[in-house]
Structure formats: structure tokens, C-alpha cells
Amino acid sequence: MKKKLTKWRLFTFVGLVALVLSGCGEPFLSTLTPAGEAGQTAYDLMMLSTWIMVGVVIVVSILFAAAVIKFRRKKGDVSIPKQVEGSHVLEIVWTVIPILLLIILAIPTVMATFDLADTKAMDKKNEDGTTDAMVVNVRANLYWWEFEYPNQKIITSQDLVVPTDQKVYFNVKASDVKHSFWIPAAGGKIDTNVENVNQIWLEFDNEKAAEADNLFYGKCAELCGPSHALMDFKVRALPQNEFDQWVTAMQAVDAKAAEAAPEDPTAAAGQEVFNQKCLSCHAVTTADARPEAARTAPNLAGFGDRERVAGILEHNEEELKNWIADPEKYKPGNKMTGTYGELSDQELDQLATYLMSLKVE
């Protein structure tokens, strides 16, 4: 009965065509367009395993289709076919060949596992406590991400800025429930646990980054609550000199700089509102000296340069006001709802102006 075989093959084909038409995903998000060494290692292993397995599927399909077609019962045939007990030779063949194929897969797997786990460089500390390696401490929260640069002594959130063409090492953990830190285009993910710190390295290739407009999408990859799907973060991969410039500019946003009133009167009014209602949780200086437990909200230094509002909304004043007016609508279950009372339209305008003025670039 070939009918049912062709039917599902047809639909699978249609699905594949649709996929091809939609492209193999976006270069800023897809695991199929790796933008760095870790992603490439994972991708190579994915390809190797795929090709081996495609081979297996083809062999099985051919044998199987042949059997099903060749030995269909003819109408009215009541004969009993020859009963075959088995074949030792065949059993050996189809045991040994799969084992060989698996060995071909297993060796690179083990090698890559150890390669990707090699974070020794981040433990080598200099006399002043810094490391030569580029390190970022990632803290996952409901529903936002904090990025601390221990060597550069700056704290930021939601937008992870990294230099290209070098290994970037991450210490990751979570502050409330388990999340998972994933930049699909750059490499595999690592869970952020509450009870321990995990370590991972990623690398961002300069040329590949340019293809993706220097912006990669990050995702939370462990169910953490209602807004798990909305815990996106962004990754800006910059060439070394641009990255250094960004660091210097961020370091300049110290306490004094943060306290200075903006020139624009609306923004200045916004700063007043901010200091009253928001400052207890949100820092606007990158030199936030509070202990981790006290840093309960994203650091907003340089907010004006960010890619998104709250990780998911378009970055403009309109959406910013929408978010502040009713965060629960956009991220159900978030921890900011109800912590600052109602704001008037005027206060919202002022706040939005102030926040958008927080730029370093």
C-alpha cells in the first residue's frame, strides 16, 4: 500500500519546502549559523551526528520500503511463507556496524565536551585580583538579566556587551529560581542555578558578528514562570577598540555623574520622580556597590542606548511609558508590579525623558 507512504512523505516535503522558504533561521538567533568557536564546535558535532543518522535512516528506509513493497500479499494467496528463525551473521553485522558508527560519533563528542568545559583561564588571578581573561558574571532573575564585569568594575543589565575574537568567560547563577543562559547563535546553553555558580566560555567572531549587525539574541531556556518566554536579552558583540570605548564610557557613569541633574528640565523632573520611586531598587550608576541581594532590579545606567524596553518591547518613549504604566500587562508575574504606586501621565512623560537621556554613546 504505497498510498500512505507517499501521503506523509508529501507533507514532510511540504514542510521542508516551507522551512527552506523561511530560511535556515535568522543569523542573530539560529544555531545553524554559529558566530563563534563554541557555536561552531556544537554545530560541527550536530552536523556529524546528522549525517551519520541520515545515513542510518536512508539504509533503514530502503530496506523497509523494499520489504513492504516486494512482499505484499497477492489477492487470494493463502500460502504460508518460509519461517526463518534468524541469522547469526546478520545479528553480528547490525550490531557491529552501529557500534562503529557510534564510536565515530563518540570520540569527537568526548573531545568537544572537555574542550567546551575548559574554563581554566578564568581562574588565573593576577595580584590585584583581576584576571587576564575576559569575564562576565551573569545573574538571572525573574524576568531580567544582570551582567557584572568584575575586571572592569561595571554592572549593567539586559544588554550584554562583549568584545569579539576572544574567549569570553561567564560565571552564571540565578537569584530566585533556575533559569538558563542561552545565546543560540554563539553556542550552547548553561543552566543558572540557585545553589552554585556554573562556568562557560563563548567566543564571538568579528566577521560573523558583522553579518548579524553585531547584535545577537539571548534567551532564557528553563521554564521559570509565566513570563519565561519574555526573558530575552541582547548581546552586542563589538570589536576590541569599540568595546574598550564602551567600557570607559560606562565607567564614567560613577555616583557623581549619576547624581548630576540633567540639563533638560523635563528630564530633571523625571530624575526627581525616579529618585523617589525607583532608585531604591534601580541603580543608575555602573559602580553599584550594593551587595547582590540588594540589587533587586536591572541597573539602568546607559538605558538610553539599550536595544529594548524590558527585554522585549521596542525601545522608544511610547513603549517605555506603556511598560512603566502597567508592567503586569507585558510581563505577567514580574516583580516590579505594584512597587511604586500609580504615576500620573506627566510623571510618566518626565520619567521616560529622563531614562532616555541616560546615554553613554
Asked if 225 touches other proteins (CB under 8 A), the answer is yes
Q: Considering only 89-97, 120-128, 147-155, 246-254, which stretch makes contact with other proteins by CB under 8 A?
A: 89-97
- Taking CB under 8 A as the criterion, which residues in 139-178 touch other proteins? 174, 176-178
- Taking CB under 8 A as the criterion, which residues in 205-224 touch other proteins? 217, 219-224
Asked if 226 touches other proteins (CB under 8 A), the answer is yes
* 267 SS3 class: helix
Asked if 293 touches other proteins (CB under 8 A), the answer is no
Among 36, 163, 184, 302, binds other proteins (CB under 8 A): 184
Return the closest-CA partner of residue 162 out of 188, 186, 189, 193.
Answer: 186
Nearest distance from C-beta of residue 202 to other proteins, angstroms: 11
- 171 contacts 197 by C-beta, under 8 angstroms: yes
Asked if 40 touches other proteins (CB under 8 A), the answer is no
Rounded to 5 degrees, what angle do the CA atoms 95, 96, 102 make?
Answer: 95
Other Cβ atoms within 10 Å of 288 Cβ, number: 20
Asked if 270 touches other proteins (CB under 8 A), the answer is no
- Bridge-partner residues for 145, per DSSP? 140
Asked if 276 touches other proteins (CB under 8 A), the answer is no
Containing 180, the helix (H) or strand (E) segment is strand 179-182
Among 332, 346, 359, 361, binds other proteins (CB under 8 A): 332
Asked if 12 touches other proteins (CB under 8 A), the answer is yes
Asked if 58 touches other proteins (CB under 8 A), the answer is no
- Taking CB under 8 A as the criterion, which residues in 306-325 touch other proteins? 312
Name, in order, each residue with C-beta under 8 angstroms of 272's C-beta and a sequence gap of 6 or more.
350
* Biggest CA-to-CA distance, the chain: 97
Asked if 294 touches other proteins (CB under 8 A), the answer is no
Nearest distance from C-beta of residue 155 to other proteins, angstroms: 23
Among 35, 37, 64, 237, binds other proteins (CB under 8 A): 64
Nearest distance from C-beta of residue 52 to other proteins, angstroms: 8
Asked if 67 touches other proteins (CB under 8 A), the answer is yes
Among 35, 109, 144, 147, binds other proteins (CB under 8 A): 109
Kindly list the strands in the beta sheet with 190-192, ordered across the sheet, starting from the edge strand earlier in the chain. Answer: 159-163, 233-238, 215-220, 179-182, 190-192
Omega of the bond prior to 169 within 30 degrees of 0, cis? Answer: no
Q: How far is CA 209 from CA 124, 235, 236, 249, in A?
A: 28, 10, 9, 22
Q: Please, which residue, 47 or 261, has the CB nearer to other proteins?
A: 47
Nearest distance from C-beta of residue 92 to other proteins, angstroms: 10
Which amino acid is present at 193? N
Asked if 72 touches other proteins (CB under 8 A), the answer is yes
Asked if 121 touches other proteins (CB under 8 A), the answer is no
Among 137, 166, 193, 296, binds other proteins (CB under 8 A): 193
- 34 contacts 47 by C-beta, under 8 angstroms: no
Nearest distance from C-beta of residue 8 to other proteins, angstroms: 5
> What long-range pairs does 191-194 form, CB within 8 A, spacing at least 24?
191/222, 192/138, 192/139, 192/140, 192/222
